[in-house]
A and B are shown apart, each in its own frame.
Chain A
Amino acid sequence: MTTSFRLSMGWLHTWAGLTAGWLLYFIFITGTLGYFDTEIDRWMQPEVLPVNNVSQEKMLALAEYRLTNVAPSAQKWWIGLPAKHMPFFEIWWQDPTKPNAKKEGKWHNEKLSPITGQTVTTRETGGGRVLYRMHYALHYMPGVLAYAITSLAAMFMLVGLISGVIIHKKIFKDFFTFRPLKKQRSWLDLHNLLSVLPLPFHLMITYSGLILLMTVTMPGVIASNYGLGKDSYSRFLEDAFAEEHHLDAAGVAAENMSFMNLLGEITNRWGLDQIAYVSIENRSDINGHIEFGHTDYETLANPRTLTFNAVNGELQHHTPASEANAAKQTYDVFSQLHEGLFAGTLLRWLYFLSGLMGAGMVATGSILWAVKRRKSAAKTGRGYRGLIFIERLNAGAIVGIPASIAVYFWANRLLSIDFPSRAEWEVNAMFITLGIALCYSIWRPIARVWIEMLFATAALFAMLPLVSALTTQQNLGNSIKYGDWVMASIELSFLVTGILFAYAAYKVGTTQSLLKNCTTKNMATTAEPLKVAL
C-alpha cells in the first residue's frame, strides 16, 4: 500500500464522515432505540396494563365477540395477542373495499382488556414505532426522498468504514491502545475503540441497511428485467418477495368457520399459548382463509405460520416454505440480522449497545475532526471561524439529538389526552427542541455550550420518571414492586442516561478548569468537549 493511497483514503474517510456525520448520528440513535420499539410503545401508552395468566383461548373468544359486534361485514380481521415483547391485546379490521374504489378500505384498531374484553382508551401516540421509522424514513418528507437520503448516508458510512480500515496501519495494536488525557490522541483512541471493537456490527448494519431499501434505490435493475412502470415493479415484488400466494376473494359468498374451531389443531402442532396473531382474510367468501402466526423466532428465518381454508378447515400453507429462492433467503437473512427481531433480551441489549457505539463512533469522529484542527487554526487564523462554527454545531447535534428525544417522551406525558393531532405534536416537540439546541449552540459562548447542554439533557432524562409518576397512574416504585420489568427498565434507563449526561457535563467542567490552570495559551477559550469517562 503506497503512502499516497493511504493519504487519499484518509482524506476520503475524514470528509465522508464529516459531511454525513450528524445525519448518521441521528440514524444510529433512532435506529438503536428501535430495538426496543414495542417496549417504548408500551411506556408511551401507560393506560394499557400488563396481563398475566389469561389463556389465549379466552382472549381469542373475547376478540371474536368484539369483532363480530363492531365489524360484522369487514373482509379482514386481525388479532394480536400479548407476547414477550408485544404487550398489547389488540384487534384490527378493515372496512369493505368499495367496488371500483381505488383505495382499499380503511383499517381500524382497538386495544382490548384481556380480562373483560372491553375497549381500552389510550392516548394517541407515535410510540417507539415512529422513532424507529425516523431512522430510515426521517420525517416531514415523502418516503422515497427520505429513503434516498438515508441510503446515501449509509453509503457514506460504508465508504467511511472501508477507508477507515485502510488507513489503519496497526488495527490490532491500536485496538488495545488507550491514552487518556492526551487530548487529540485520546479522542483518536476512543474513536478507534468505538469503531474497531464493533466493526463487524457496523459493517453488517450498514450493508444490510442498504439492502433493505434496495428495491427503492436500485430500480434500474428491476426495470431492465421487468420493464418500466408500476405494474412491472409490483410483478417483481410479487415474484421475489411474496411470502406465499394467498387467494384473492372470489366474490362468491360462503359460510366460513370460526377460527376458534382450529385452536385444537394449533395446540397439537405448537403447544398451548404459542399464537402471536390470527389473521382472517376474505371473510364470508369461498376463498376465505385463516392464518396463525407463531410467537417465536427460532432461527433467522421468518417465524412459522399456518394458513387454513376458512370454509372446510383444511391446511393450505405452512411457512417457512421450502421453495423460497436463494435471493429471497439472502435478503431475509440480511433483514433479520438488521432488525434483530429473532434476538432474545440479552442479545437485543447487545444490539442496543453496539448501536450506541456506532453513534459514539460518529460523534467522536466529528469531535476529533475539530480537535485536530484547533491548534493550527488558532495559530494561523485560517479557517478558524468555520472551525468554531462546526464545533458549535457538533455540540448542538451530538447533545441536541438525545435532548430532543427526551422531549419527545416529555411531550407524551404532558400533552393533554385530547390534544388535536397529538401524536404529530409529540414529533413536532422533538424537532422544535433540536432546532432550539442548534440555535443555542451557535448563540452561547463556546466554552459554555457543551457543559450547559449536557446538564440540561441530563435533567431532561433524569426527571422523566418523576414526570411520569405525576401525570399517570404508573410510577417507577410500583413498576418494581409489581415486577413490571418493561416499564421499570425503561424508566431506570432514563435515570442512567441522565446520570451519564451529568457525568459527562461534570467531566467537561473539570477538564476545562484544569486546562485553564495549566495552560497559558488559548486552549481554555475553546471548548474541550465531552471527555467522557477518561
Chain B
Amino acid sequence: MTKLLNAQSNSAIFSRVVAAILGAYFLANLVAIAISFIVTGPMAGGVAIGMLSSYLVYGAAIIWVFAAATATQAWLGLASACLISGLLIIGLKWIEL
C-alpha cells in the first residue's frame, strides 16, 4: 500500500513539486517541438500547433506527477516520456537532413 500524499515526507513532496513545475515544463517543450517537426506545411503553422498543444501536455504531466505512487516513479515516468520525445525529435531532424 502506498502512502497518501499528505503522509509523505517533505522532501518527497518537494521533489514532486519540482517535477511538476520544471520537469513537466521541459517535457511540454519537447513534445511541442516534436509536434512542430511532425506537422507538415508552413513552418509557422507547425510551431503554433506545437505551442497550442504544449499546455495540455504540461497539465497532463503535472497530473501524472501527483498521481504516481512515489516521487521516484513520477520522475521516472517524466524521464521516459522526455527520452521518447527527445529521440523522436532527433529522428525527425535526421530524416529532414
Which one of B36, B45, B46 has the highest number of Cβ atoms from chain A below 10 Å of its Cβ? B45
Contact with B along A206-243 (1 / 0, CB 8 A): 01001100110010111011100000000010011000
Q: Give the residues from 58 to 74 in chain B that come closer than 8 angstroms, CB to CB, to chain A.
A: 58-59, 62-63, 66-67, 69
Contacts of A5 in B (CB 8 A): 67
C-alpha spacing A4/B54, complex, angstroms: 27
C-alpha spacing A7/B3, complex, angstroms: 11
Query: Is A330 part of the binding interface, using a Cβ–Cβ cutoff of 8 Å?
Result: yes
C-alpha spacing A239/B48, complex, angstroms: 11
Which one of B36, B54, B66 has the highest number of Cβ atoms from chain A below 10 Å of its Cβ? B66
C-alpha spacing A66/B30, complex, angstroms: 54
Query: Is A423 part of the binding interface, using a Cβ–Cβ cutoff of 8 Å?
Result: no
C-alpha spacing A210/B58, complex, angstroms: 11
Given contact pairs A226-B43, A327-B45, A218 touches B51 in the complex (Cβ within 8 A): yes
B63 touches A331 (CB 8 A): no
Least CB distance from A273 to B in Å reads 37
Instruction: Please classify how large the interface on chain A is, using the bins under 10, 10 to 19, 20 to 34, 35 or more.
Output: 35 or more
How many Cβ-Cβ contacts under 8 Å join chain A to chain B? 108
Contact with B along A140-178 (1 / 0, CB 8 A): 000000000000100100110011001000000000000
Given contact pairs A162-B59, A225-B36, A325-B41, A218 touches B48 in the complex (Cβ within 8 A): no
A211 touches B44 (CB 8 A): no
Instruction: Please classify how large the interface on chain B is, using the bins under 10, 10 to 19, 20 to 34, 35 or more.
Output: 20 to 34
Least CB distance from B9 to A in Å reads 14
C-alpha spacing A330/B49, complex, angstroms: 9
Contacts of A325 in B (CB 8 A): 41-42, 44-45, 48
Contacts of B37 in A (CB 8 A): 224-225
Closest to B54 in A: A218
Query: Is A471 part of the binding interface, using a Cβ–Cβ cutoff of 8 Å?
Result: no
Query: Is A378 part of the binding interface, using a Cβ–Cβ cutoff of 8 Å?
Result: no
A163 touches B63 (CB 8 A): yes
A8 touches B54 (CB 8 A): no
C-alpha spacing A162/B36, complex, angstroms: 26
Query: Is B33 part of the binding interface, using a Cβ–Cβ cutoff of 8 Å?
Result: yes
B62 touches A159 (CB 8 A): yes
B45 touches A226 (CB 8 A): no
B48 touches A240 (CB 8 A): yes
A155 touches B55 (CB 8 A): yes
B63 touches A159 (CB 8 A): yes
Least CB distance from B77 to A in Å reads 14
Contacts of A215 in B (CB 8 A): 51
Query: Is A11 part of the binding interface, using a Cβ–Cβ cutoff of 8 Å?
Result: yes
Which one of B41, B47, B59 has the highest number of Cβ atoms from chain A below 10 Å of its Cβ? B47
Closest to A224 in B: B33
A239 touches B29 (CB 8 A): no
C-alpha spacing A325/B47, complex, angstroms: 12
Which one of B37, B42, B67 has the highest number of Cβ atoms from chain A below 10 Å of its Cβ? B67
Given contact pairs A9-B66, A220-B29, A222-B47, A4 touches B52 in the complex (Cβ within 8 A): no
A-B contact pairs, 11 of them (CB 8 A): A7-B5, A11-B6, A152-B21, A214-B54, A215-B51, A221-B33, A221-B50, A222-B47, A224-B36, A325-B42, A327-B44
Q: Using a CB–CB distance below 8 Å, which chain A residues touch chain B? A: 4-5, 7-9, 11-12, 152, 155, 158-159, 162-163, 166, 207, 210-211, 214-215, 218, 220-222, 224-226, 236, 239-240, 325-328, 330-331
